[in-house]
């Protein structure tokens, strides 16, 4: 009995010793893991500090907004778009139609005015007849395509009223800002590629590499020339607006509907009716005169054909009569 009690005590003592050893081992591993983590963290901080000493990090620059894009508000409600000046690229074009009693004087003054504001005539065309001594309506018309500085575009049609009666005017603007800056950025990229190709060409040694680089250079230069020409064309169109001016010579200026009175409208309507009747009679006379040559040619032909037909018909009737008599 005593031996059994002793063995039980020994077993309990062994279990207690093993439990104490397990607890000691767990605490030690936890401390070592904590120590390793602390060491790793301090090492990473030290390495980061060392790297920050070697490399100087430049402060980030705020990205400038693209032309035409909206800029969002900051925390304080201030819009950066208010402080950014965007250079818009707009191609303006227009058309003006006007009439004048003194054709030559108006055309000369308009050309002088365009030259005075720094513009020029890209094309001009004049057709028609000069007013005759019998006061017949003029048929002369002048059509100009002017290139004028963009700053003078919006006031151009208003200033033309001094040289004649402006009947209508229209303007049009095409915003090419986005296309312009995209093309400009693409051109810069191609120029950088060209410089790199030139550096590679200087270091190339075999013939195959030289030929391949020169072929690529030719392609790049072709694209650069095209884009450069496109930008120059756009710059010219932006700086000098295009406006078409048509000047008609008349014997009476058209009355402005806004300033015309009721009696003026009645007079104009009666005058238009009389002119319409006269024009109709003129057309009838012209038609009769045009019909005379046709009558001189076709009336004799018609008479001859009518006589031949009558002669043929008489002969046929005589033949029928003779045949009926023989049968009887």
Q: How far is CA 128 from CA 78, 105, 135, 143, 310, in A?
A: 63, 16, 15, 12, 55
Eight-state DSSP code of residue 67? T
Vertex 129: Cα angle to 126 and 135 (nearest 5): 135
Q: φ, ψ for residue 259 (rounded to 5)?
A: -100, -10
* pLDDT at 327 (0 to 100): 67
Bigger pLDDT: 46 or 9? 9
- The per-residue pLDDT for range 142-174, each reduced to its tens digit, is 999 999 999 999 889 889 999 999 999 999 999
* pLDDT at 192 (0 to 100): 95
Quote the CA–CA distance of 204 and 210 in Å, as a whole number: 6
Of 239, 234, 237, 218, the C-alpha closest to 182 is: 234
Top-level CATH class of 90-175? alpha beta
Q: Would you kindly state where each structural domain of the chain is located, as residue ranges?
A: 90-175, 178-237
Which of 47-51, 169-173, 227-231, 285-289 is the least confident region? 47-51
Give the distance, in angstroms, between the CA of residue 53 and the centroid of all CA atoms in the same chain: 53
* pLDDT at 261 (0 to 100): 65
Mean pLDDT over residues 72-97, rounded? 59
How, if at all, do strands 120-127 and 141-149 pair? Answer: antiparallel
- Model confidence at 22: pLDDT above 70: no
Of 187, 193, 191, the C-alpha closest to 213 is: 193
- The per-residue pLDDT for range 220-268, each reduced to its tens digit, is 999 999 999 999 999 999 999 999 999 998 877 776 655 556 666 677 6
Q: Mean pLDDT score of the chain, rounded to an integer?
A: 74
């Amino acid at each position: 009995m005593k031996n059994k009690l002793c063995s039980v005590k020994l077993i309990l003592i062994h279990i207690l010793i093993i439990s104490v050893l397990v607890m000691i081992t767990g605490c030690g591993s936890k401390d070592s893991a904590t120590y390793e983590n602390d060491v790793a963290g301090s090492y990473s901080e030290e390495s980061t500090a060392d790297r920050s000493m070697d490399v100087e990090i430049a402060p980030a620059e705020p990205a400038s907004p693209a032309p035409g894009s909206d800029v969002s508000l900051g925390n304080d409600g201030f819009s950066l778009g208010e402080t950014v000046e965007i250079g818009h690229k707009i191609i303006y074009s227009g058309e003006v139609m006007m009439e004048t009693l003194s054709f030559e004087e108006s055309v000369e003054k308009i050309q002088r005015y365009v030259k005075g504001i720094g513009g020029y005539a890209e094309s001009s065309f004049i057709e028609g007849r000069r007013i005759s001594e019998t006061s017949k309506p003029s048929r002369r018309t002048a059509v100009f395509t002017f290139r004028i500085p963009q700053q003078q575009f919006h006031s151009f049609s208003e200033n033309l009223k001094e040289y004649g009666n402006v009947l209508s005017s229209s303007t049009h603007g095409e915003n090419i800002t986005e296309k312009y800056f995209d093309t400009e950025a693409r051109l810069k990229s191609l120029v950088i590629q060209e410089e790199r190709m030139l550096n590679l060409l200087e270091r190339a040694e075999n013939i195959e590499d030289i030929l391949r680089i020169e072929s690529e250079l030719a392609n790049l230069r072709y694209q650069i020339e095209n884009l450069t020409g496109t930008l120059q064309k756009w710059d010219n169109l932006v700086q000098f607006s295009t406006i078409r001016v048509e000047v008609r010579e008349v014997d009476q200026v058209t009355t402005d509907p806004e300033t015309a009175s009721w009696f003026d409208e009645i007079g104009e309507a009666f005058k238009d009716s009389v002119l319409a009747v006269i024009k109709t009679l003129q057309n009838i006379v012209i038609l009769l005169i045009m019909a005379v040559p046709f009558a001189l040619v076709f009336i004799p032909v018609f008479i001859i054909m009518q006589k031949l037909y009558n002669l043929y018909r008489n002969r046929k009737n005589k033949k029928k009569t003779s045949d009926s008599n023989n049968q009887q």
